[in-house]
Amino acid sequence: MDNINQIIRERRSHYPHEFNGLPLDDSLIDTLIENACWAPNHTLNFPWRFIVLKDEALKNWLQLVLNNFIKDTPAEKFNQKKADKIQTYQTQVSHAIVLVCEHDSESLNKQKEDLLAVACGVQNMYLSLSQFPSAGGYWSSGMGTYGIAMHNYFNLKSNQVLMGYFMLGSLDKKRIDSHRKDFRQFIIS
Ligand SMILES: Cc1cc2nc3c(=O)[nH]c(=O)nc-3n(C[C@H](O)[C@H](O)[C@H](O)COP(=O)(O)O)c2cc1C
């Protein structure tokens, strides 16, 4: 087994422009979701919910993302390159896992913990990708994550919160390099 330090430090976000457009196996998506469910969560209330988008459902959603970008961006801020980039997602992205947090309590502290637990689950997805040399992805909190339009598009209930999307695709080669600041500066003495 690879060294856990190496797995953590070589975990990278890979973006749609890096994907080669080949489809990923559905079993890989199942592995990511199954491992997400092993994340820590307070009182084992399993606050995560997932919607898997692929094929037509993925295309339709990405078309909506593009339409909303065109509709909601003021003319003076409109960037055709960004619109073209979103358009390429339709051919590059294999699956998107819609990340949802479901609250089972009115307590704001509990709800905070639910969100944190889902984030732990997403980290498990990220780390699980290390076992697949030609699959990559990243957590996107763009594409309307915090707006009511997407909440309604996915038929979410009032106790469900959209937390973004895990965008996935096939890679020819993985990037592993990055940098972090010296950890000592984050220790409050
Ligand atoms: C909560 C969260 C939301 C994110 N949303 C976005 C996003 O909307 N767009 C994006 O390009 N990257 C997004 N990322 C990925 C970060 O940009 C990425 O983790 C960071 O650049 C570090 O790169 P690495 O993951 O390869 O170490 C998000 C990450 C987190 C944790």
For 129-156, what is the mean pLDDT?
97
Atom of ligand 1 nearest to the CA of 12: 26
Give me the domains of the chain, ranges plus CATH numbers. Answer: 15-186 (3.40.109.10)
Mean pLDDT confidence for 40-68: 97
Q: Output the CA torsion 75→15→141→127 (10° steps).
A: 180
* 146-154 LR contacts (CB < 8 Å, sep 24+): 149/68, 153/61, 153/64, 154/51, 154/98, 154/100
| DSSP 8-state symbol, 147 | S
List ligand 1's pocket residues with C-beta within 6 A: 12-13, 138-142, 164, 178
Asked whether residue 162 carries a pLDDT value surpassing 90, the answer given is: yes
Tokens of 73: 């961006």
Tell me which of 100, 101, 140, 179 to substitute to probe ligand 1's pocket, judged by most ligand atoms within 8 Å of the beta carbon. Answer: 140
Which residue has tokens 């990055």? 178
Q: What is the mean pLDDT of residues 171-185?
A: 97
Nearest ligand 1 atom, CA 142: 8
On average, the pLDDT of the chain sits at: 97
pLDDT at 36: 99
pLDDT of residue 1: 46
CA dihedral (162, 126, 39, 54) in degrees, to 10, reads 50
75-125: pLDDT as tens digits: 999 999 999 999 999 999 999 999 999 999 999 999 999 999 999 999 999
Q: What is the average pLDDT across 158-167?
A: 98
Atom 29 of ligand 1, residue of closest alpha carbon: 139
Distance 142 CA to ligand 1 centre (A): 10
Give the closest residue (by CA) to ligand 1 atom 12. 140
Per the CB < 8 A criterion, the answer to whether 24 and 168 are in contact is yes
- 2, pLDDT greater than 70: no
Specify the ligand 1 atom closest to the Cα of 122: 31
Integer CA distances (angstroms), 142 to 94, 98, 146, in order: 18, 12, 8
* Number of the ligand 1 atom closest to the C-alpha atom of 126: 25
Mutation to probe ligand 1, out of 139, 174, 179 (largest number of atoms < 8 A from CB): 139
Give CA–CA dist 63/19, Å, rounded.
Answer: 18
**Distance between Cα 52 and ligand 1 center (Å):** 20
**Any bridge partners for residue 157, and if so which?**
none
- Report the atom number in ligand 1 closest to the C-alpha of 14: 26
